[in-house]
Amino acid sequence: MIIQEMTSDDCRAMLARTGVARLACACNHQPYIVPIHVRLDGDFLYAYSTLGQKIDWMRQNPLVCVEIDEFIAHARWASVVVVGRYEELPAAPGYEGSRQIAERLFAPHPAWWEPASVPFAGGQLRSPIVFRIQIGSMTGRRASPDPARPMTGHGERLKPEQSRITALLRRVAGTHRRWPLTGIAD
């Protein structure tokens, strides 16, 4: 496997195509992480929630971290980490432009507000809180298979010793069939 740094453009492209991220916040030296829906626009990730622990904590400490990842196989994945600052977007004068951006970003997803406003069992209905994370810094890593190592039948690279053993088994057996233990076809 080869691991490479992602460019800023690669990170932004991955953020633009994702819908779910993990939001990490902290309060009183205690970290907390939850999945959230996000949408990218410029230097901001837009999201929504109801009043609860993450909103309470971000109001007290607006420094947050967001992580997204794509996992295809053991040697084929990508991960982006954003460090930023929480900003609530209330339905109040001065926030109209930012809320319009959020509405535009969420509009293609019917009932986007539903997860944030459905009452808990026996609870009352709550209005969603719209917020955004201003991107302060962003890093990304991407893994890909090492082209210098042979592949297994499962899309993973063989270790050099596996490759030698497989070649030996093929010579000894002299058959052209699928090897059940390695997943390698002749």
Of 8-17, 96-105, 120-129, the least confident: 120-129
Report which DSSP code applies to 38.
-
Closest CA to 27 of 2, 51, 52, 62: 62
**Amino acid identity for residue 92 in this structure:** A
176: confidence class by pLDDT, cuts 50, 70, 90: very low
Mean pLDDT score across all residues of the chain: 82
The pTM score is 0.72
Give tens-digit pLDDT for 159-169: 555 555 665 55
Express each pLDDT in 40-74 by its tens digit. 999 999 999 888 899 999 999 999 999 999 988 88
Report whether 78 contacts 142 (CB < 8 A).
yes
pLDDT band at 186 (very low <50, low <70, confident <90, very high): very low
Per-residue pLDDT reduced to its tens digit, 19-42: 899 999 999 999 999 999 999 999
Which residues make Cβ contacts (< 8 Å) with residue 125, sequence separation at least 6? 117, 118, 119
Asked if pLDDT for residue 181 goes beyond 90, the answer is no
Q: Are 42 and 63 in contact (CB under 8 A)?
A: no
Higher-confidence residue: 99 or 152?
99
Q: What percent of the chain has pLDDT over 70?
A: 70
Percent of the chain with pLDDT over 90: 54
pLDDT at 182: 47
- List domains and CATH numbers for the chain: 2-144 (2.30.110.10), 148-186 (no CATH)
Helix (H) or strand (E) holding 105: helix 96-106
Lowest mean pLDDT among 10-14, 131-135, 167-171: 167-171
CB atoms within 10 A of CB 58: 24
Strands (DSSP E) contained in 6-120 are: 20-27, 30-37, 39-41, 44-49, 63-73, 76-88
pLDDT at residue 82 above 90? yes
Q: How does residue 177 score in pLDDT terms, banded at 50, 70 and 90?
A: very low
